[in-house]
Each structure stands twice: as C-alpha cells, then as structure tokens.
Amino acid sequence: MDKATLKETIRDVADFPKPGIIFKDITTLLNNPEAFAATIDIFHDHYKDKNIQKILGIEARGFIFGSALAYKLQTGLNIFRKPGKLPYKTFSNTYELEYGTDTIEIHTDAVAKNERVLIIDDLIATGGTARAAADLVQRIGGTVVGLAFVMELSFLHGTDKLKDYDVYSILTF
C-alpha cells in the first residue's frame, strides 16, 4: 500500500477533543488489516538497520504501533504512561499540548544505560509529548536513536522542538 492510499484510511473528526480541533482518527487505519500491516512494514524498513535495542511507546496509541514494531524488529518494549499508572518507581515530565498540558511517566529502570531506543507514537502535533519522552530517556541514561510517528501535523511545527533528533513521520498533514 502506498502512502497516499494509507493516508486515505485516516478519518477526520471535527471538534474533538474541543471545538476547532480536527482530530486525526487512526482507528480506521487499525481496522484495515492491509493499512496496519503497511504502516508497520514502512516503520520496519526505515529502522531495520539502526541497531535499535528497545522501543518505547507513548500512551496509548504508541503502544499499538510500538508493540507490533518491537515484535518485527525483535527488540524490547517499554512504555510511557500517564501519572499513577505505573506500579514501580518513576520519572515524570510535564509538557504542553496543542490544547493544554499533560504529564508522562516512565519506570526508572525502563531503559539501560546507553541503550539505543526508538520512541514511537501515532501523532506529532506540537512536539511536547515527544520532547518530554526524549528528555526522560536521556534522564535515565538511554540513547534516543529516533522518534517515529504515523502522522505529523506539520502546520504545528512540532519537529522544531526535536531538531537534535532523527524524526520520521510516515504521513504529513
């Protein structure tokens, strides 16, 4: 499946989560077996030679893509969660979204010293979540090999916050 066809599988939902926002809904992509497989294959082809040791999925849609890609790349997998959802000691980071603020956490032992990690999520908008995640990986002592996204909302310039990283988005809106 080419990227143009893949892009067509994503549904727009107006005024969600608040008026004026057009939400890019990936559930329609996930519901399409060919589109989901193509997404994971595209990520795999891009990262297969990058010596990634662990994938870190950002809650919650990053878990979906991260787990499938970790399986395909034969890497470890760990997760970023919202506050209070992880049972062990955590580091946290608060950041700004395009429509408010949020906080993510990661277990203090989720990444080994100098471990090469890929951070993955479904969407990069303002870049706040991704930046917060990358900062947490560095705080733990890991090495961020890249940040991967199914979609990028380029008009929000989220990659500007990530200039010191390799950022890869399959689709751009």
User: Catalytic site residues?
Assistant: 61, 98
Distance of alpha carbon 159 from alpha carbon 145, whole angstroms:
15
In the 8-state DSSP scheme, what is residue 81? B
Distance of alpha carbon 33 from alpha carbon 36, whole angstroms:
5
Q: Find the angle CA(145)-CA(148)-CA(151) to the nearest 5 degrees.
A: 160
Q: How far apart are the first and last CA of the chain?
A: 18
Tell me, rounded to whole angstroms, the distance of Cα 57 from its chain centroid.
6
H and E: helices and strands count for the chain: 5, 9
Sequence-ordered strand ranges (E) for 19-99:
22-25, 54-58, 76-80, 90-97
